[in-house]
Chain A
Amino acid sequence: MLPKERGFIPKRALSYFILALSAVMLLAGCTSSSPTKESASSSQSPSDSQSPNAVKDELILAVGKTDVGMFDPKKGWGTHAQIRLTHSSLLTIDSELNFIGDLAKSYTVSDDALTWTFPLRDDVKFSNGEQVTAEDVKFTYEMLKEDGIKFDLSFVESIGIAEGNTIVITLHEPRSTFVSQLTEIGIVPKAHYDDNYSQNPIGSGPYKVVQYNDGQQIIMEYNPYWYGTAPQFKKLTLLLLAEDAALAAAKAGQADIVYVPPTFAEQKVEGMTLRAFESIDSRGIMLPAVPSGAKGKTNDKDVEVGNDVTSDLAIRQALNIGLDRQKLLDVAIGGYGQKAYCLCDNMPWFNEETIVDDGDIEGAKKILTDGGWSDSDQDSIVDKNGRKAEFNMFFSSSDQLRTDLSLAVADQASELGIKINLIGATWDEIYVKGKTAAVAWGGGRHHPHQLYTMNSSKVIDTSYHNMSNYRNPKVDEYLDKALTATTQEEANKYWKLAQWDGHTGFSGIGDAPIVWLVRVDHLYLANEKLNLGKQPVHTHGHEWALFGNITEWTWDN
């Protein structure tokens, strides 16, 4: 024992020595690195101080970590409002949500809503200097129609080119949401489009992509051939950072604007102010509407479908009126949001009859009792025929907001006697298991097409549409009528009826396959000198919703 002990002491001393040494080296590392950082920032500041009137023409942004369908419409570039920086589309929307021409000078629709005519601008060029022609538009639409995955253009009969640089699109049947797709589809050059387009994107937007490091950053520079108003900022560096890293970058002065989740909203960063933008970005709980045991598909994978608890209408309706939306807003997102009763609150196609007096615990308990649920064994969870009102709920664990909202929902549901077990997961797992359990769901666009994809029984088993496997013939009928309406007014009438027609509907007071709860404000910490112009109501996706009016952004010295 003794010799061993002797060996031990020097070893211990040695380990202390090494510890001390590493501490010294760590400190030395810090001190040697900080001067370089200072010199980097000081090399920037003189240029600012010497010429205070110099126009700042570079922006560093950390507005979200997104890597969906990079730059290629076929991979989904445009489905989350991404295209405004890099591409132009036939139409676009202004800050009042009106449809205005972009690539098209104007547009006309025939009375039967089957023929759409777009005279194109003659002065539009891609970032490589080549003219954007009607051929390119025709190519883009035909390519996406053939692909049919990210953009459903199956109702398009043909795309023709008419005299005078004009595109004529004919449809099989009227489609009221087509006009929105026209704003989402970015035009790609026929001559340069291939499977590697993501690596070498050429578009006709105000910026061109000069560098994209997968999952790290996107660098964009001004496209000198851009036909619209020249933006003040000639270079954009988008850092793809996680939420807390983005905040750290803002504190270190390394970014001009960062996205912050509501939990970080009260952070004070010198020289930066909080910008909150109302959005139609809604959050709710998707609840399977069929009992367990069924099979189905999500994103082309075979999955299990159904949940025995959430398929009971009383449970879904009780959650709709029992959950206190204002309290959810206060607790989970610090009050930075609005109540939501549908996916489309305050939009022209929103049915205001679906607004309920929520937080009504007595009312919710009555619905449960009428539905046959009672707490027979006094464990404060209601049950029916021996089955407890208990189900799993998935949420994206990398999303702070959905995590917090899910916790708050589960907390409130326990007051109703409904036990929700939360499971954090990645989206890949959620798509596989999500049809057997509740999911913290999100959505919201400037157009009503999602009302169709989330509630029509015709899209069950395609992509991740209608995850609840909800099926109501009456709702299907209204949705079809809305989709094929010839005018927006007629379409809106049917969208509203699909939500609630006095007897049935997919909204919370109807069948409630998705209980919508809140609309979240999009929050950004931005340099106080950065003027973001007049922002429209944001759509789902805080990463790209900002950039619709990028050409209006200014730096006010």
Chain B
Amino acid sequence: MLSVQEGWNVRKTMLLLAASSAAFLLLLLFLGFWLSNDNLRLSVARNLPPSWEHPFGTDWLGRDMFTRTIKGLRLSLSVGALASVISVVVAIVMGTCAAVFGKAADAVISWIIDLFIGMPHLVFMILICFIAGGGIYGIVLGISLTHWTALARVVRSEVLQVKNAEYIQISRSCGKSAWYIARRHIWPAIFPQILIGFLLMFPHVILHEAALTFLGFGLSPQTPAIGIILSEAMSHISTGKWWLVVFPGLLLVVVIKSFDSIGERIRILLEPASSHE
């Protein structure tokens, strides 16, 4: 065991894997900004199968599928980040309030969480998105208002656990305010949980973003979004244009898997005890 720790060890492998996943995602993000919007223009180079010039081929209007896919994923990543951040904030606030402000607040918040979990996920999102009038705004709202519940529950139970720890009791006896305790004692203690929750929420959110854009919801077909690309490709599968659906779909899966892998690795690194499971 000792010899392993001096050289290459599992921890470093984990870090390397997480770093390479992160590098891959950053590369996609960079490409998303770097690739020219001119590649999204229509041209007569229609229905070309994959080649060096067009790695993912072109669609039936001559748009470069590689650019569309990468730009679509950039949208997915931005929507994912935004919706995840909102979800995490909501989860922290809800979870902390439930744990800190006594039985009544806990009951109300637990009831709200149950209510949100009880609704069928996709239906609920579609509903919110529809009420908000569709578009990017509706999609972000729909996703962020439905994804915070599981994390809020985790935060709540963690806070409940930490709250009764001795050092917090002492801090309280010393006359520190509830805000001070939450800020200095509770949040640092639950930070790993939140970080992991945030990272693992990403794939979930991105998939739901793809699902919503797949269904339309006011996003213009000019916007390259991964769901739009896939739903458009649907009507062209019957004509044998496999590259319209295979590459965007595959890349979406790889992106999801990368996030999942980063989240899992970090979880294991932050909770070394669980690595033996």
Contacts and interface: CB of A to CB of B under 8 A. Distances in A.
Contacts of B235: 243-244, 400
Interface in A244-264: 244, 247-248, 251, 263-264
A331 B221 contact: no
B60 A263 contact: yes
Contacts of A244: 234-236, 238
Q: How large is the interface on A (under 10, 10 to 19, 20 to 34, 35 or more residues)?
A: 20 to 34
19 contacts: A1-B277, A5-B277, A243-B235, A244-B235, A244-B236, A247-B239, A331-B46, A331-B61, A332-B61, A334-B46, A400-B235, A404-B60, A407-B42, A407-B61, A407-B221, A421-B220, A422-B220, A422-B221, A424-B221
Given A244-B235, A407-B61, A424 B43 contact: no
B225 to A, nearest CB: 13
A221 interface: no
Contact of B222 (A263, A397, A400, A421): A421
B238 A330 contact: no
B174 interface: no
B257 to A, nearest CB: 18
A199 interface: no
Interface of A is mostly: helix
5 closest cross-chain pairs (CB), A and B: A411-B42, A244-B235, A422-B220, A263-B60, A244-B238
A400 B61 CA distance: 12
A392 B274 CA distance: 54
Nearest to A415: B41
B216 interface: yes
A410 interface: yes
Given A267-B239, A407-B221, A424 B216 contact: yes
A332 B43 CA distance: 9
Given A331-B46, A331-B62, A404-B60, 20 more contacts: A1-B274, A1-B277, A244-B234, A247-B239, A251-B238, A263-B60, A263-B236, A266-B47, A267-B239, A330-B44, A331-B43, A397-B216, A400-B235, A403-B221, A407-B42, A407-B61, A407-B221, A421-B220, A423-B218, A423-B220
Interface string B202-229: 0000000000000010101110000000
Nearest to A403: B221
A546 interface: no
A397 B217 CA distance: 12
A331 B216 contact: no
Interface string B52-77: 00000000111000000000000000
A91 interface: no
Nearest to A327: B44
Contacts of B62: 331
A340 interface: no
A248 B238 contact: yes
Contacts of B60: 263, 404
B245 to A, nearest CB: 13
A51 B60 CA distance: 43
B115 to A, nearest CB: 28
Contacts of A266: 47
A319 interface: no
Interface of A: 1, 5, 243-244, 247-248, 251, 263-264, 266-267, 330-332, 334, 397, 400, 403-404, 407-408, 410-411, 421-424
Interface string B232-263: 00111011000000000000000000000000
Contacts of A267: 239
Nearest to A261: B235
Interface string B89-132: 00000000000000000000000000000000000000000000
Nearest to B273: A1
Contacts of A330: 44
B44 A264 contact: no
Contact of A331 (B42, B218, B238, B274): B42
B44 A410 contact: no
Nearest to B235: A244
A189 to B, nearest CB: 42
Contacts of B46: 331, 334
With most chain B CB atoms within 10 A of its CB, the pick from A251, A331, A403, A404 is: A331
Contacts of A263: 60, 236, 239
A403 B216 CA distance: 13
Given A263-B60, A331-B42, A331-B44, A407 B238 contact: no
A411 B216 CA distance: 20
B239 A410 contact: no
A263 B59 CA distance: 10
Contacts of A423: 218, 220
Nearest to A395: B221
Contacts of B47: 266
With most chain A CB atoms within 10 A of its CB, the pick from B43, B60, B277 is: B60
With most chain B CB atoms within 10 A of its CB, the pick from A243, A244, A247 is: A244
A5 B42 CA distance: 54
B40 to A, nearest CB: 9
B239 A407 contact: no
Nearest to B44: A330
Contact of A407 (B44, B222, B236): B222
A5 B41 CA distance: 53
Contacts of A334: 46
A264 B239 contact: yes
A5 B277 CA distance: 7
A423 B62 CA distance: 20
Nearest to A332: B61
Nearest to A412: B42
Interface string B21-58: 00000000000000000000111101100000000000
A243 B235 CA distance: 8
Nearest to A328: B42
A251 B238 CA distance: 9
Contacts of A264: 239
Given A247-B239, A264-B239, A411 B221 contact: no
Contacts of B43: 331
Contacts of B218: 423
Nearest to A423: B220
A157 B24 CA distance: 78
Nearest to A331: B42
Contacts of A331: 42-44, 46, 61-62
Contacts of B239: 247, 263-264, 267
A251 B239 CA distance: 10
With most chain A CB atoms within 10 A of its CB, the pick from B62, B216, B235 is: B235
With most chain A CB atoms within 10 A of its CB, the pick from B43, B218, B222 is: B222
A252 to B, nearest CB: 11
Given A5-B277, A247-B238, A408 B42 contact: yes
A470 to B, nearest CB: 26
Nearest to A409: B42
Contacts of B44: 330-331
